[in-house]
A and B are shown apart, each in its own frame.
Chain A
Amino acid sequence: MKQLHLPLSAEETQRLRAGDGVLLSGVIYTARDCAHRRLFELLDAGKDLPVDLKTTYLYYAGPCPAPAGKACGSCGPTTSARMNAFAPRLLDLGLPGMIGKGEMSEETRQALVRNKRVYFAAIGGAGAQYAQAIKRADLVAFPDLLSEAIYRMEVEDFPAVVAIDSAGNSVYDR
Protein backbone atom coordinates (compact mmCIF):
# COMPACT_ATOMS: atom_id res chain seq x y z
CA MET A 1 0.00 0.00 0.00
CA LYS A 2 1.36 3.37 -1.07
CA GLN A 3 1.15 6.17 1.54
CA LEU A 4 -0.12 9.37 -0.08
CA HIS A 5 -0.60 12.83 1.36
CA LEU A 6 -3.29 15.01 -0.14
CA PRO A 7 -3.03 17.26 -2.06
CA LEU A 8 -0.93 15.28 -4.51
CA SER A 9 1.57 16.95 -6.80
CA ALA A 10 1.03 16.63 -10.55
CA GLU A 11 3.93 14.14 -10.69
CA GLU A 12 2.55 12.02 -7.85
CA THR A 13 -0.90 11.98 -9.48
CA GLN A 14 0.47 10.90 -12.84
CA ARG A 15 2.62 8.16 -11.34
CA LEU A 16 -0.47 6.39 -9.96
CA ARG A 17 -1.74 3.41 -11.93
CA ALA A 18 -5.19 1.80 -11.88
CA GLY A 19 -5.20 -1.03 -9.36
CA ASP A 20 -2.62 0.53 -6.99
CA GLY A 21 -3.57 0.20 -3.34
CA VAL A 22 -3.13 3.48 -1.44
CA LEU A 23 -3.52 4.93 2.05
CA LEU A 24 -4.69 8.54 1.83
CA SER A 25 -3.98 11.18 4.46
CA GLY A 26 -5.04 14.81 4.36
CA VAL A 27 -8.26 16.72 3.77
CA ILE A 28 -11.29 15.53 1.79
CA TYR A 29 -14.82 16.93 1.44
CA THR A 30 -18.01 14.85 1.32
CA ALA A 31 -20.61 15.56 -1.35
CA ARG A 32 -23.27 13.36 -2.87
CA ASP A 33 -26.36 13.86 -5.05
CA CYS A 34 -28.08 16.81 -3.38
CA ALA A 35 -24.87 18.69 -2.51
CA HIS A 36 -23.75 18.40 -6.13
CA ARG A 37 -27.05 19.81 -7.31
CA ARG A 38 -26.64 22.75 -4.95
CA LEU A 39 -23.07 23.37 -6.13
CA PHE A 40 -24.27 23.40 -9.73
CA GLU A 41 -27.07 25.84 -8.90
CA LEU A 42 -24.45 28.18 -7.42
CA LEU A 43 -22.15 27.73 -10.43
CA ASP A 44 -24.99 28.40 -12.86
CA ALA A 45 -25.94 31.53 -10.94
CA GLY A 46 -22.32 32.72 -11.02
CA LYS A 47 -22.11 32.69 -7.22
CA ASP A 48 -19.20 31.69 -4.97
CA LEU A 49 -18.96 28.07 -3.89
CA PRO A 50 -18.59 27.09 -0.22
CA VAL A 51 -15.45 25.13 -1.14
CA ASP A 52 -12.44 25.93 -3.32
CA LEU A 53 -12.79 23.40 -6.13
CA LYS A 54 -9.11 23.59 -7.02
CA THR A 55 -8.03 22.12 -3.69
CA THR A 56 -11.02 19.90 -2.94
CA TYR A 57 -10.83 16.13 -3.15
CA LEU A 58 -14.47 15.09 -3.18
CA TYR A 59 -15.58 12.03 -1.24
CA TYR A 60 -18.88 10.69 -2.51
CA ALA A 61 -20.32 9.83 0.89
CA GLY A 62 -23.02 10.62 3.41
CA PRO A 63 -21.97 9.66 6.94
CA CYS A 64 -23.98 8.33 9.85
CA PRO A 65 -24.20 10.76 12.80
CA ALA A 66 -21.13 10.80 15.05
CA PRO A 67 -21.60 9.00 18.38
CA ALA A 68 -20.14 10.63 21.50
CA GLY A 69 -16.35 10.56 21.47
CA LYS A 70 -16.07 9.88 17.72
CA ALA A 71 -15.17 12.38 15.01
CA CYS A 72 -17.58 10.74 12.59
CA GLY A 73 -20.07 7.92 12.32
CA SER A 74 -19.92 5.08 9.82
CA CYS A 75 -18.80 6.61 6.52
CA GLY A 76 -18.08 4.47 3.48
CA PRO A 77 -18.38 5.59 -0.15
CA THR A 78 -21.59 5.78 -2.16
CA THR A 79 -22.05 4.78 -5.81
CA SER A 80 -20.02 7.20 -7.95
CA ALA A 81 -21.96 6.58 -11.17
CA ARG A 82 -24.72 8.88 -9.92
CA MET A 83 -22.21 11.73 -9.95
CA ASN A 84 -21.32 11.26 -13.65
CA ALA A 85 -23.65 14.15 -14.40
CA PHE A 86 -21.41 16.46 -12.36
CA ALA A 87 -17.84 15.13 -12.35
CA PRO A 88 -16.63 16.21 -15.84
CA ARG A 89 -17.55 19.88 -15.32
CA LEU A 90 -16.02 19.94 -11.82
CA LEU A 91 -12.81 18.34 -13.12
CA ASP A 92 -12.63 20.95 -15.89
CA LEU A 93 -12.98 23.64 -13.21
CA GLY A 94 -9.93 22.27 -11.40
CA LEU A 95 -11.17 19.53 -9.05
CA PRO A 96 -8.04 17.53 -8.14
CA GLY A 97 -9.81 14.18 -7.73
CA MET A 98 -12.68 12.13 -6.36
CA ILE A 99 -13.16 9.16 -4.07
CA GLY A 100 -16.20 6.91 -4.42
CA LYS A 101 -17.07 3.39 -5.41
CA GLY A 102 -17.75 1.65 -8.70
CA GLU A 103 -17.24 2.46 -12.35
CA MET A 104 -17.81 5.90 -13.85
CA SER A 105 -18.85 6.97 -17.35
CA GLU A 106 -16.73 7.41 -20.46
CA GLU A 107 -17.26 11.18 -20.17
CA THR A 108 -15.83 11.18 -16.65
CA ARG A 109 -12.91 9.05 -17.76
CA GLN A 110 -12.14 11.51 -20.57
CA ALA A 111 -12.34 14.43 -18.16
CA LEU A 112 -9.86 12.67 -15.84
CA VAL A 113 -7.45 12.16 -18.75
CA ARG A 114 -7.95 15.70 -20.07
CA ASN A 115 -7.16 17.19 -16.67
CA LYS A 116 -4.64 14.51 -15.61
CA ARG A 117 -6.55 13.56 -12.47
CA VAL A 118 -7.32 10.30 -10.70
CA TYR A 119 -10.45 8.70 -9.32
CA PHE A 120 -10.00 6.57 -6.22
CA ALA A 121 -12.32 3.75 -5.16
CA ALA A 122 -12.86 3.24 -1.46
CA ILE A 123 -14.29 -0.10 -0.33
CA GLY A 124 -18.08 0.13 -0.38
CA GLY A 125 -19.71 -1.27 2.73
CA ALA A 126 -16.68 -0.72 4.96
CA GLY A 127 -18.25 2.27 6.73
CA ALA A 128 -17.13 1.34 10.25
CA GLN A 129 -13.56 0.85 9.05
CA TYR A 130 -13.52 4.26 7.34
CA ALA A 131 -14.91 5.95 10.45
CA GLN A 132 -11.66 4.96 12.21
CA ALA A 133 -9.61 6.74 9.52
CA ILE A 134 -11.58 9.99 9.85
CA LYS A 135 -9.93 12.03 12.59
CA ARG A 136 -12.01 15.17 12.31
CA ALA A 137 -15.23 16.14 10.53
CA ASP A 138 -16.65 19.67 10.28
CA LEU A 139 -19.86 20.76 8.63
CA VAL A 140 -19.00 23.20 5.83
CA ALA A 141 -22.16 23.78 3.82
CA PHE A 142 -25.85 22.93 3.34
CA PRO A 143 -26.68 21.79 6.93
CA ASP A 144 -30.33 21.26 5.94
CA LEU A 145 -29.19 18.32 3.81
CA LEU A 146 -28.29 16.42 7.01
CA SER A 147 -26.10 13.45 6.02
CA GLU A 148 -25.95 14.82 2.47
CA ALA A 149 -24.34 18.10 3.61
CA ILE A 150 -20.73 18.94 2.75
CA TYR A 151 -18.32 17.93 5.52
CA ARG A 152 -14.62 18.73 5.63
CA MET A 153 -12.80 15.65 6.86
CA GLU A 154 -9.25 15.12 8.01
CA VAL A 155 -8.29 11.54 7.24
CA GLU A 156 -5.31 9.35 8.09
CA ASP A 157 -4.41 6.15 6.27
CA PHE A 158 -7.72 6.04 4.45
CA PRO A 159 -7.56 2.84 2.33
CA ALA A 160 -8.46 3.08 -1.36
CA VAL A 161 -7.60 1.70 -4.76
CA VAL A 162 -6.71 3.81 -7.82
CA ALA A 163 -9.82 3.11 -9.90
CA ILE A 164 -9.18 5.28 -12.96
CA ASP A 165 -5.72 6.75 -13.43
CA SER A 166 -4.67 9.94 -15.23
CA ALA A 167 -4.00 7.97 -18.43
CA GLY A 168 -7.57 6.65 -18.39
CA ASN A 169 -6.78 3.09 -17.35
CA SER A 170 -9.57 1.64 -15.25
CA VAL A 171 -9.58 -1.13 -12.68
CA TYR A 172 -13.10 -1.92 -13.92
CA ASP A 173 -12.07 -2.69 -17.52
CA ARG A 174 -12.70 -6.35 -18.16
Chain B
Amino acid sequence: MSKEKLCIFRNLFYNIRMRTLDTSVISDCVYRLAGKAGITLTPACLAALERAKKSETGAAHFALDTLLRNAGTAQENHMPACQDTGMAVVLLELGQDVHLTGMPLADAVNDGVRRAYADGYFRKSICDPLTRVNTGDNTPAHLHTEIVPGERVNVTFLPKGFGSENMSRLYMLTPSEGRAGIVNAIVETVRLAGSRPCPPVYVGVGIGGAFDSCAFLAKKALTRDVGTRNARTDVASIEEEALEKINALGIGAQGFGGRVTALGVACEIAPTHIAGLPVAVNIQCHCIRCEKESL
Protein backbone atom coordinates (compact mmCIF):
# COMPACT_ATOMS: atom_id res chain seq x y z
CA MET B 1 0.00 0.00 0.00
CA SER B 2 1.31 3.46 -0.90
CA LYS B 3 2.05 6.08 1.74
CA GLU B 4 -0.79 8.29 0.49
CA LYS B 5 -3.30 5.49 0.76
CA LEU B 6 -2.15 4.79 4.29
CA CYS B 7 -2.71 8.43 5.12
CA ILE B 8 -6.23 8.38 3.71
CA PHE B 9 -7.04 5.26 5.69
CA ARG B 10 -5.57 6.78 8.82
CA ASN B 11 -7.49 10.02 8.42
CA LEU B 12 -10.69 8.20 7.67
CA PHE B 13 -10.16 6.06 10.75
CA TYR B 14 -9.50 9.06 12.99
CA ASN B 15 -12.26 11.16 11.49
CA ILE B 16 -14.77 8.45 12.21
CA ARG B 17 -13.77 8.16 15.85
CA MET B 18 -13.11 11.85 16.33
CA ARG B 19 -15.46 13.32 18.92
CA THR B 20 -17.08 16.64 18.18
CA LEU B 21 -17.70 18.96 21.12
CA ASP B 22 -19.21 22.42 21.00
CA THR B 23 -17.24 24.84 23.15
CA SER B 24 -20.51 26.03 24.73
CA VAL B 25 -20.40 22.72 26.65
CA ILE B 26 -17.00 23.74 28.05
CA SER B 27 -18.35 27.21 28.83
CA ASP B 28 -21.26 25.74 30.79
CA CYS B 29 -18.87 23.41 32.62
CA VAL B 30 -16.63 26.33 33.64
CA TYR B 31 -19.77 28.16 34.79
CA ARG B 32 -20.81 25.23 37.02
CA LEU B 33 -17.34 24.66 38.45
CA ALA B 34 -16.65 28.35 39.12
CA GLY B 35 -20.05 28.79 40.76
CA LYS B 36 -19.43 25.88 43.09
CA ALA B 37 -15.77 26.65 43.81
CA GLY B 38 -16.54 30.21 44.91
CA ILE B 39 -18.61 29.04 47.84
CA THR B 40 -17.26 25.58 48.62
CA LEU B 41 -14.05 24.39 50.28
CA THR B 42 -12.83 20.98 49.14
CA PRO B 43 -13.73 18.03 51.43
CA ALA B 44 -10.00 17.40 51.92
CA CYS B 45 -9.55 21.02 53.04
CA LEU B 46 -12.42 20.80 55.54
CA ALA B 47 -10.99 17.57 56.96
CA ALA B 48 -7.52 19.16 57.28
CA LEU B 49 -8.97 22.24 59.03
CA GLU B 50 -10.89 20.00 61.46
CA ARG B 51 -7.68 18.12 62.29
CA ALA B 52 -5.77 21.38 62.72
CA LYS B 53 -8.44 22.78 65.06
CA LYS B 54 -8.11 19.74 67.34
CA SER B 55 -4.40 20.36 67.82
CA GLU B 56 -4.62 24.09 68.60
CA THR B 57 -5.61 26.26 71.54
CA GLY B 58 -6.15 29.99 72.10
CA ALA B 59 -6.33 32.45 69.22
CA ALA B 60 -5.33 29.85 66.60
CA HIS B 61 -8.16 27.58 67.77
CA PHE B 62 -10.56 30.54 67.60
CA ALA B 63 -9.40 31.28 64.05
CA LEU B 64 -9.83 27.69 62.86
CA ASP B 65 -13.21 27.39 64.56
CA THR B 66 -14.32 30.62 62.84
CA LEU B 67 -13.12 29.28 59.49
CA LEU B 68 -15.03 26.03 59.87
CA ARG B 69 -18.18 27.89 60.86
CA ASN B 70 -17.57 30.22 57.92
CA ALA B 71 -17.55 27.25 55.53
CA GLY B 72 -21.02 26.31 56.80
CA THR B 73 -22.28 29.90 56.61
CA ALA B 74 -21.06 30.14 53.02
CA GLN B 75 -23.06 27.03 52.07
CA GLU B 76 -26.22 28.06 53.92
CA ASN B 77 -26.24 31.55 52.45
CA HIS B 78 -24.91 30.50 49.06
CA MET B 79 -22.23 33.14 49.47
CA PRO B 80 -18.48 33.11 48.78
CA ALA B 81 -16.47 31.56 51.61
CA CYS B 82 -13.83 34.25 51.07
CA GLN B 83 -14.45 37.60 49.37
CA ASP B 84 -11.34 37.01 47.29
CA THR B 85 -13.00 34.77 44.73
CA GLY B 86 -9.68 34.87 42.97
CA MET B 87 -8.15 34.86 39.58
CA ALA B 88 -9.96 32.21 37.55
CA VAL B 89 -7.35 29.53 36.89
CA VAL B 90 -8.66 26.99 34.41
CA LEU B 91 -6.71 23.85 33.55
CA LEU B 92 -7.99 22.08 30.46
CA GLU B 93 -6.79 18.62 29.50
CA LEU B 94 -7.97 18.37 25.96
CA GLY B 95 -8.10 14.93 24.37
CA GLN B 96 -6.42 14.95 20.97
CA ASP B 97 -9.34 13.05 19.46
CA VAL B 98 -11.74 15.88 20.24
CA HIS B 99 -12.72 18.31 17.55
CA LEU B 100 -13.93 21.58 19.07
CA THR B 101 -16.63 23.57 17.30
CA GLY B 102 -18.42 26.80 18.10
CA MET B 103 -16.92 29.92 19.64
CA PRO B 104 -13.15 30.10 20.22
CA LEU B 105 -12.08 28.08 23.25
CA ALA B 106 -10.69 31.04 25.26
CA ASP B 107 -13.92 32.99 24.65
CA ALA B 108 -15.96 30.03 25.83
CA VAL B 109 -13.95 29.75 29.04
CA ASN B 110 -14.17 33.51 29.68
CA ASP B 111 -17.90 33.40 29.03
CA GLY B 112 -18.30 30.73 31.72
CA VAL B 113 -16.24 32.78 34.17
CA ARG B 114 -18.14 35.98 33.38
CA ARG B 115 -21.54 34.39 33.98
CA ALA B 116 -20.49 32.54 37.15
CA TYR B 117 -18.98 35.64 38.77
CA ALA B 118 -22.01 37.77 37.92
CA ASP B 119 -24.65 35.24 38.98
CA GLY B 120 -22.78 34.22 42.14
CA TYR B 121 -22.22 37.79 43.37
CA PHE B 122 -18.51 37.03 43.37
CA ARG B 123 -15.93 39.78 43.54
CA LYS B 124 -14.35 40.80 40.25
CA SER B 125 -10.68 41.07 41.04
CA ILE B 126 -8.90 41.32 37.68
CA CYS B 127 -7.39 44.62 36.61
CA ASP B 128 -4.81 46.16 34.31
CA PRO B 129 -1.43 45.90 36.07
CA LEU B 130 -0.48 49.52 35.33
CA THR B 131 -3.69 51.55 35.25
CA ARG B 132 -5.32 49.25 37.87
CA VAL B 133 -8.61 49.61 35.99
CA ASN B 134 -10.80 46.60 36.73
CA THR B 135 -11.98 44.51 33.75
CA GLY B 136 -15.33 44.36 35.56
CA ASP B 137 -16.14 40.68 34.99
CA ASN B 138 -13.14 38.78 36.37
CA THR B 139 -11.90 37.88 32.90
CA PRO B 140 -9.62 36.98 31.30
CA ALA B 141 -9.31 33.58 32.91
CA HIS B 142 -5.83 32.18 33.42
CA LEU B 143 -6.21 29.30 30.96
CA HIS B 144 -3.74 26.42 30.60
CA THR B 145 -4.42 23.92 27.86
CA GLU B 146 -2.70 20.57 27.67
CA ILE B 147 -3.24 18.18 24.80
CA VAL B 148 -3.59 14.62 26.10
CA PRO B 149 -4.45 11.27 24.50
CA GLY B 150 -8.08 10.23 24.21
CA GLU B 151 -11.39 11.95 23.60
CA ARG B 152 -12.21 13.39 26.99
CA VAL B 153 -11.95 16.98 28.13
CA ASN B 154 -10.98 17.36 31.80
CA VAL B 155 -11.71 20.73 33.31
CA THR B 156 -10.21 21.94 36.60
CA PHE B 157 -11.24 25.25 38.13
CA LEU B 158 -9.04 26.84 40.80
CA PRO B 159 -10.07 30.30 42.07
CA LYS B 160 -6.68 31.65 43.18
CA GLY B 161 -6.61 34.35 45.84
CA PHE B 162 -3.76 36.80 45.75
CA GLY B 163 -2.97 37.37 49.41
CA SER B 164 -1.29 33.99 49.17
CA GLU B 165 -0.18 34.30 45.53
CA ASN B 166 1.82 37.41 46.52
CA MET B 167 3.89 35.33 48.94
CA SER B 168 5.01 32.81 46.28
CA ARG B 169 8.63 32.55 45.16
CA LEU B 170 10.80 31.09 42.42
CA TYR B 171 14.32 29.83 43.12
CA MET B 172 16.87 29.00 40.46
CA LEU B 173 19.04 26.69 42.58
CA THR B 174 22.26 25.05 41.45
CA PRO B 175 22.28 21.26 41.00
CA SER B 176 24.66 20.88 43.95
CA GLU B 177 22.13 22.43 46.32
CA GLY B 178 20.04 19.33 45.72
CA ARG B 179 17.35 17.96 47.96
CA ALA B 180 18.37 20.03 51.01
CA GLY B 181 18.23 23.19 48.91
CA ILE B 182 14.73 22.32 47.76
CA VAL B 183 13.45 21.76 51.30
CA ASN B 184 15.10 25.01 52.45
CA ALA B 185 13.48 26.96 49.62
CA ILE B 186 10.03 25.66 50.54
CA VAL B 187 10.42 26.34 54.26
CA GLU B 188 12.01 29.77 53.69
CA THR B 189 9.11 30.85 51.47
CA VAL B 190 6.57 30.00 54.17
CA ARG B 191 8.71 31.60 56.90
CA LEU B 192 9.07 34.87 54.96
CA ALA B 193 5.33 34.90 54.22
CA GLY B 194 4.59 34.72 57.94
CA SER B 195 1.03 35.69 58.84
CA ARG B 196 0.32 37.43 55.53
CA PRO B 197 -0.97 34.65 53.23
CA CYS B 198 -3.74 33.43 55.59
CA PRO B 199 -2.08 30.40 57.17
CA PRO B 200 -2.48 27.48 57.61
CA VAL B 201 -1.41 27.39 53.98
CA TYR B 202 -1.28 24.73 51.30
CA VAL B 203 2.11 24.77 49.57
CA GLY B 204 2.38 23.84 45.89
CA VAL B 205 5.91 23.17 44.72
CA GLY B 206 7.37 22.76 41.25
CA ILE B 207 10.72 21.02 41.01
CA GLY B 208 12.59 21.08 37.71
CA GLY B 209 11.46 22.18 34.27
CA ALA B 210 12.46 25.74 33.35
CA PHE B 211 11.76 29.24 34.76
CA ASP B 212 8.17 29.25 33.44
CA SER B 213 7.18 25.58 33.47
CA CYS B 214 8.46 25.18 37.03
CA ALA B 215 6.00 27.82 38.25
CA PHE B 216 3.18 26.08 36.40
CA LEU B 217 4.08 22.76 38.07
CA ALA B 218 3.71 24.50 41.43
CA LYS B 219 0.27 25.78 40.50
CA LYS B 220 -0.73 22.37 39.18
CA ALA B 221 0.36 20.78 42.46
CA LEU B 222 -2.30 22.89 44.20
CA THR B 223 -5.03 21.10 42.24
CA ARG B 224 -4.18 17.90 44.09
CA ASP B 225 -6.25 17.13 47.20
CA VAL B 226 -4.46 18.47 50.26
CA GLY B 227 -2.85 15.59 52.14
CA THR B 228 -2.09 13.46 49.08
CA ARG B 229 1.47 12.35 48.38
CA ASN B 230 3.42 12.29 45.13
CA ALA B 231 3.67 8.78 43.69
CA ARG B 232 7.47 9.02 43.61
CA THR B 233 8.72 8.15 47.08
CA ASP B 234 11.74 10.49 46.87
CA VAL B 235 9.40 13.38 46.03
CA ALA B 236 6.91 12.34 48.71
CA SER B 237 9.71 12.40 51.28
CA ILE B 238 10.47 16.04 50.35
CA GLU B 239 6.78 16.83 50.88
CA GLU B 240 6.83 15.20 54.29
CA GLU B 241 10.09 16.75 55.49
CA ALA B 242 9.11 20.24 54.29
CA LEU B 243 5.71 19.98 56.01
CA GLU B 244 7.30 18.95 59.28
CA LYS B 245 9.79 21.83 59.15
CA ILE B 246 7.09 24.35 58.20
CA ASN B 247 4.94 23.29 61.13
CA ALA B 248 7.94 23.67 63.43
CA LEU B 249 8.03 27.40 62.50
CA GLY B 250 5.18 28.07 64.92
CA ILE B 251 3.40 30.67 62.74
CA GLY B 252 0.03 28.96 63.22
CA ALA B 253 -3.44 29.83 61.96
CA GLN B 254 -3.62 33.52 60.90
CA GLY B 255 -0.10 33.93 62.34
CA PHE B 256 -1.49 33.72 65.89
CA GLY B 257 1.08 31.05 66.78
CA GLY B 258 0.49 27.30 66.80
CA ARG B 259 1.41 23.87 65.57
CA VAL B 260 -0.27 23.99 62.18
CA THR B 261 1.24 26.52 59.76
CA ALA B 262 0.62 24.38 56.65
CA LEU B 263 -2.15 21.89 55.90
CA GLY B 264 0.01 20.18 53.29
CA VAL B 265 2.88 20.35 50.83
CA ALA B 266 2.40 19.01 47.29
CA CYS B 267 5.36 18.71 44.91
CA GLU B 268 5.27 18.08 41.18
CA ILE B 269 8.43 17.24 39.29
CA ALA B 270 9.69 17.45 35.70
CA PRO B 271 13.06 16.94 34.02
CA THR B 272 15.30 20.00 33.96
CA HIS B 273 18.62 21.09 32.39
CA ILE B 274 21.95 19.66 33.63
CA ALA B 275 22.98 23.16 34.75
CA GLY B 276 19.97 23.95 36.92
CA LEU B 277 17.48 23.12 39.63
CA PRO B 278 14.44 25.41 39.45
CA VAL B 279 12.12 25.33 42.45
CA ALA B 280 8.83 27.26 42.47
CA VAL B 281 6.81 27.62 45.64
CA ASN B 282 3.19 28.66 45.12
CA ILE B 283 1.30 29.48 48.29
CA GLN B 284 -2.41 28.75 48.64
CA CYS B 285 -4.32 30.07 51.66
CA HIS B 286 -6.41 27.79 53.90
CA CYS B 287 -9.45 28.50 51.74
CA ILE B 288 -8.74 25.66 49.31
CA ARG B 289 -11.28 25.70 46.51
CA CYS B 290 -10.86 23.47 43.49
CA GLU B 291 -13.51 21.82 41.34
CA LYS B 292 -13.07 19.26 38.57
CA GLU B 293 -15.22 17.70 35.91
CA SER B 294 -14.59 15.32 33.04
CA LEU B 295 -16.53 15.96 29.83
Q: Is B59 close to A, CB under 8 A?
A: yes
B83 touches A76 (CB 8 A): yes
B196 touches A146 (CB 8 A): no
Which B residues lie within 8 Å of A125 (CB)?
Answer: 67, 70, 81-82, 198, 285-287
Q: Is A61 close to B, CB under 8 A?
A: yes
Q: Is B55 close to A, CB under 8 A?
A: no
B59 touches A19 (CB 8 A): yes
B257 touches A146 (CB 8 A): no
Q: Is B256 close to A, CB under 8 A?
A: yes
How many B residues touch the partner, as a band? 35 or more
Which A residues lie within 8 Å of B79 (CB)?
Answer: 64, 67, 70, 73-74, 127-128, 131
A73 touches B69 (CB 8 A): no
How many angstroms from the CA of A78 to the CA of B198 in the assembled complex?
9
Q: Is A63 close to B, CB under 8 A?
A: yes
- A76 with B254: in contact, given A103-B196, A146-B136, A172-B195 (CB under 8 Å)? no
Q: Is A21 close to B, CB under 8 A?
A: yes
How many angstroms from the CA of A128 to the CA of B290 in the assembled complex?
18
A128 touches B70 (CB 8 A): yes
Which B residues lie within 8 Å of A62 (CB)?
Answer: 83, 123, 125
Q: Is B255 close to A, CB under 8 A?
A: yes
Q: Which of A65, A128, A145, A174 interacts with B81 by CB under 8 Å?
A: A128
Taking the nearest CB of chain B, how far is it from the CB of A170, in angstroms? 10
Q: Is B163 close to A, CB under 8 A?
A: yes
Which B residues lie within 8 Å of A13 (CB)?
Answer: none
- A129 with B70: in contact, given A64-B85, A101-B195, A174-B250 (CB under 8 Å)? yes
- A67 with B121: in contact, given A128-B77, A128-B81 (CB under 8 Å)? yes
Q: Is B251 close to A, CB under 8 A?
A: yes
Which A residues lie within 8 Å of B132 (CB)?
Answer: 33-34
**Count of chain A residues with a beta carbon within 8 Å of a chain B beta carbon:** 41
Q: Which of A34, A74, A78, A123 interacts with B254 by CB under 8 Å?
A: A123
Which A residues lie within 8 Å of B163 (CB)?
Answer: 78-79, 101, 124
**What are the interface flags for A51-83 relative to B under an 8 Å C-beta threshold, 1 for contact and 0 otherwise?**
000000000011111110010011110110100
Q: Which of A66, A74, A174 interacts with B74 by CB under 8 Å?
A: A74
Q: Is A161 close to B, CB under 8 A?
A: yes
Closest to B118 in A: A65
Which A residues lie within 8 Å of B198 (CB)?
Answer: 101-102, 124-125
- A124 with B59: in contact, given A64-B83, A73-B121, A79-B196 (CB under 8 Å)? no
Closest to B65 in A: A123
Q: Is A126 close to B, CB under 8 A?
A: yes
Most chain-A Cβ atoms within 10 A of its Cβ — which of B83, B85, B166, B198? Answer: B83
How many angstroms from the CA of A42 to the CA of B124 in the assembled complex?
26
A102 touches B81 (CB 8 A): no
Most chain-B Cβ atoms within 10 A of its Cβ — which of A33, A76, A81, A101? Answer: A76
Q: Is A171 close to B, CB under 8 A?
A: yes
A63 touches B59 (CB 8 A): no
- A161 with B287: in contact, given A79-B163, A174-B251 (CB under 8 Å)? no
A63 touches B62 (CB 8 A): no
A159 touches B80 (CB 8 A): no
- A146 with B124: in contact, given A81-B196, A131-B77 (CB under 8 Å)? yes
Q: Considering the complex of A and B, which 4 residue pairs feature the smallest CB-CB distances, nearest first?
A: A128-B74, A74-B80, A127-B83, A126-B70
